[in-house]
Amino acid sequence: MLKYFGSRLLTFIPTFIGVTLISFSFIRVLPGDPIVVMAGERGITEERYQELSQQYGFDRPIHVQFWDYFTGVLQGDLGDSFVTKKPVWDEFFALFPATLELALCAMIIAVILGLPAGVIAAVNRGKFFDRALMSTALVGYSMPIFWWALLLIIVFSGNLGWTPVSGRIDLVYYFPNATGFMLIDSLASGQKGAFLSAVRHLVLPAFVLGTIPLAVIARQTRSAMLEVLGEDYIRTARAKGMSPRRINGIHALRNALIPVITVIGLSVGTLLGGAILTETIFSWPGIGKWMLDSISRRDYPVVQGGLLLIAVLVMVVNLTVDVLYGVINPKIRKR
């Protein structure tokens, strides 16, 4: 198992270098000079422009700038924000719990609803439940997030008044933000109604963000289950008189989980990427909105560091998925 884990870990090195180069290059191909953007409507003199260019290192060759950035990353230094003057590390981890809480809840919703939907559709192949569930999944996958979010806001926030439009909790509640996770902090605060308020603020953006992964998980589960249900050992289990619940829930589902886990792992990147739009619509104070604001301000260190940290998180999740392959199916470790 250690050898299998080590071989997967080695793939981190070239991927990390490539992601570092991409994160460095991405913001620089966008039009707009960060120094001019920082100056704003006040304008800037030529002398001041040269002074700031030298201060931030923009006067050096591009390959020298990248090497300085890369060596800084290896030492754990992602630089300071041009706007707030705070370290990128501090800003990222101050906002990341909000995005992680949103993404985890979205994934939980996607798995809890998508996995059973796929199993039910596979077991009832060609029947009403199969067509209804897969048609719904196709609609959910095809729905633009911004349109779906606005529609749900109109229905559940505007017409029914069940959920708030934006934010993480009602303004009447105030307590120390110890963990950054509003559900945990509101529950630990002991204030009456705080936890329920946090749940009401979270449920709509989490459902919007989890819609596409839900649809993908449901369709992948159905496809994997149908493939496994046609195997010889499943027919043998039926011939031995095993109950359909045991066959479908243990033998078939366990072997169908490998491609499903792949989809779940890849959905983490989708959730973090989709969080940018979802957080903007719901005014959710996470890294998605932070990154979007930083791109418009040409805040190079924030965009570079944010992209790199998100990419590393996705890489860690994919490594975890690879390890889970070996746990679920020991034969994979020998490949």
Give the span between the Cα atoms of 303 and 24, in whole angstroms.
9
Q: Which residue has the tokens 């250690």?
A: 2
Query: Average per-residue pLDDT in the chain?
Result: 81
Q: Is the pLDDT confidence value at 335 over 60?
A: no
* b/e 51-71 (16+ beta carbons within 10 angstroms → b): ebeeebebeeeeeebeeebee
pLDDT at 108: 92
Classify the phi-psi angles of 32: left when phi > 0, otherwise alpha if psi is within -120 to 50, otherwise beta: left
Question: What are the E-state strand segments in the chain?
Answer: none
pLDDT at 257: 77
Q: Please compute the mean of the pLDDT values over residues 262-283 and round it to a whole number.
A: 78
Cβ within 8 Å of residue 98, ≥6 positions away: 168, 180, 182, 284, 285, 286, 287
- pLDDT band of residue 109 (cuts 50, 70, 90) is very high
Q: Please compute the mean of the pLDDT values over residues 114-118 and round it to a whole number.
A: 88
Stretch (H or E) spanning 102: helix 88-123
- pLDDT band of residue 249 (cuts 50, 70, 90) is low
Beta carbons of 136 and 168 less than 8 angstroms apart: no
Q: What is the pLDDT of residues 184-206, one digit of tens each?
A: 888 888 888 889 998 999 999 99
| Tokens of residue 249, six digits | 């829930």
Q: Is the pLDDT confidence value at 224 over 60?
A: yes
Per-residue HEC secondary structure of 180-229 comes to: CCHHHHHHHHCCCCHHHHHHHHHHHHHHHHHHHHHHHHHHHHHHHHHHHH
Q: What is the pLDDT of residues 36-59, one digit of tens each?
A: 776 665 667 777 778 778 777 777
Across 29-38, 107-116, 220-229, 257-266, least confident range: 29-38
In the 8-state DSSP scheme, what is residue 167? S
| Tokens of residue 18, six digits | 């490539």
In the 8-state DSSP scheme, what is residue 166? S
pLDDT at 207: 92
Degrees to nearest 5, angle at CA 81 with 179 and 93? 15
Give the span between the Cα atoms of 179 and 200, in whole angstroms.
19
Q: What is the pLDDT of residues 124-133, one digit of tens each?
A: 888 888 888 8
The amino acid sitting at 290 is: W
pTM confidence score: 0.78
Q: Is the pLDDT confidence value at 333 over 60?
A: no
Q: Please compute the mean of the pLDDT values over residues 266-292 and round it to a whole number.
A: 80
pLDDT at 332: 53
* Three-state DSSP class for residue 173: coil
Beta carbons of 78 and 304 less than 8 angstroms apart: yes
- pLDDT band of residue 113 (cuts 50, 70, 90) is very high
pLDDT at 48: 76
Q: Which residue has the tokens 């529950």?
A: 187
Check if CATH label 1.10.357.10 holds for domain 88-334. no
Q: Please compute the mean of the pLDDT values over residues 281-300 and round it to a whole number.
A: 84
Q: Is the pLDDT confidence value at 107 over 80?
A: yes
Degrees to nearest 5, angle at CA 173 with 280 and 193? 100
Q: What is the pLDDT of residues 291-323, one digit of tens each?
A: 888 887 888 888 888 888 888 887 777 777 777
